[in-house]
Structure 1
Amino acid sequence: MTGAAVLACFASTAVAESCREDVAMLRSDAGTARFRIEVADDKQERAQGLMNRETLSKSAGMLFVYPKPQSVGFWMKNTLIPLDMIFMDETGTVKKVHHEAQPLDESPIFGGDGILAVLEINGGLARKIGITEGWAMRHNAIDQSKAAWPCSESQ
């Protein structure tokens, strides 16, 4: 399946959608992708993440949110499925994509400095959709006065 075809599978409707806790949307000039997510916004939830899960729906993910922009690192200890990690700054702009982190690998994966949020999705999906640095995320975890793609803006 081509990147455009995969992107079309995840494209949301053209109707402006207000931010929802359980939805993260990403966009660039190439298109829009929508994920049904769980939010990990406290220390315990971030520590647990997607560990010990055997499956993750194709259009699902987990959004890790930090109280302030910082240097963050992940590992795959006790994580049973390959994941893509999308690291974003306080504006919701993608700064780094780590493709296909391997299950159970304890090697650190760093996202860089100034990271506020990290979206984990199925391994290989970011590449199929074409998600790269510069994409913007729409979610209410992003301070709307700083958001590259505010909730109030139509698609």
Structure 2
Amino acid sequence: MRPLAFALLLGLLALAQGLTFPRSTLQVVQGEKRYPLRVEVADTPERQAQGLMFRKALGEEEGMVFLFSSPTAGGFWMKNTLIPLSIAFFDRQGTILRILDMEPCRADPCPVYYPGVVYQGALEVNRGWFQRRGLTPGAKVEGEALKLWPR
């Protein structure tokens, strides 16, 4: 490894350890069923860029919610993400528009996962979490975490 690349890697690791996320709760609701989650909230560009990078595990009832100040159609990538994830893209009302599965990526080029919809929030959980619960587009994301939406 070249010295510059090693220094950049150390800088990324320091960033990953020093960045903190607000913690909250939310539920995914479809029909009469409610599925609670403890979530970390990525509500700033810095937190959104970091996401779940370098995490070795995610509990079954845990996730990360990304809250954007305005609608977007941007994609997500899994650079330096060590665990497989599912992601639900939802609108400002909390309605899930699309669910995708994503693979870990440790080396460039990493694929970008575009949802093909305009969304304002995204929920990452362990891969298969939505499928195991029978959750599909049209389900709702609700709860305390959504009160942290940036204005």
Q: TM-score range by the shorter chain?
A: 0.7 to 0.9
Which consecutive unaligned segments of at least 5 residues does structure 1 have?
A: 1-20, 144-155
Return the alpha-carbon distance in structure 1 between the equivalents of residues 42 and 73 of structure 2: 17
2:70 corresponds to which residue? 68
1:121 corresponds to which residue? 125
* Structure with more helix by fraction: 2
| TM-score, with length taken from structure 2 | 0.76
The match for 2:47 among 45, 62, 67 is 45
Q: Could you list the per-position Cα deviations for residues 3-33 of structure 1 after superposition, in whole angstroms to 9, with x for gaps in the alignment? A: xxxxxxxxxxxxxxxxxx6111111115111
Q: Could you say what secondary structure the match of 1:51 adopts?
A: coil
- Alpha-carbon RMSD: 1.6
Return the alpha-carbon distance in structure 2 between the equivalents of residues 30 and 126 of structure 1: 15
Return the alpha-carbon distance in structure 2 between the equivalents of residues 61 and 141 of structure 1: 11
Q: CA deviation at 1:91?
A: 0.8
The residue type equivalent to 2:105 in the other structure is L
Return the alpha-carbon distance in structure 1 between the equivalents of residues 145 and 26 of structure 2: 10
The residue type equivalent to 2:49 in the other structure is A
Return the alpha-carbon distance in structure 1 between the equivalents of residues 29 and 75 of structure 2: 24
Identical aligned pairs, as a percentage?
34
Which consecutive unaligned segments of at least 5 residues does structure 2 have?
A: 1-22
Larger Rg: 2
Check the 8 A contact 1:90/1:142 in 2, yes or no: no
1:152 corresponds to which residue? none
